[in-house]
Amino acid sequence: MKPLVVYYSLTGKTKLVAQVIAEALNATLVEIKETKPRKLGAFVYLFGGLAATINRGSKINPIDVDLKQHETIFIGSPIWNSRPAPAINSFIYKTNFEGRSIIPFFTMGGDNSEKALANITAKIERSQGKVAGSFAITSYRVSDEEIIARAKEAIKNY
Ligand X SMILES: Cc1cc2nc3c(=O)[nH]c(=O)nc-3n(C[C@H](O)[C@H](O)[C@H](O)COP(=O)(O)O)c2cc1C
Instruction: Tell me which residues touch ligand X (CB under 6 A).
Output: 9-15, 44-45, 48-49, 78-82, 107-110, 139
Rounded to whole angstroms, the Cα distance separating 6 from 74 reads 6
Question: 134 or 139, CB closer to ligand X?
Answer: 139
Least Å distance between CB 113 and ligand X? 8
Question: 11 or 96, CB closer to ligand X?
Answer: 11
Question: 71 or 148, CB closer to ligand X?
Answer: 148
Rounded to whole angstroms, the Cα distance separating 80 from 120 reads 12
- For residue 83, give the nearest of 56, 64, 63 by alpha carbon: 56
Rounded to whole angstroms, the Cα distance separating 16 from 148 reads 7
The HSE-up count of residue 52 (CA atoms within 13 Å, CB side) is 21
Rounded to whole angstroms, the Cα distance separating 36 from 104 reads 24
Question: 15 or 70, CB closer to ligand X?
Answer: 15
Least Å distance between CB 122 and ligand X? 17
Least Å distance between CB 101 and ligand X? 23
DSSP 35: S
Least Å distance between CB 17 and ligand X? 8
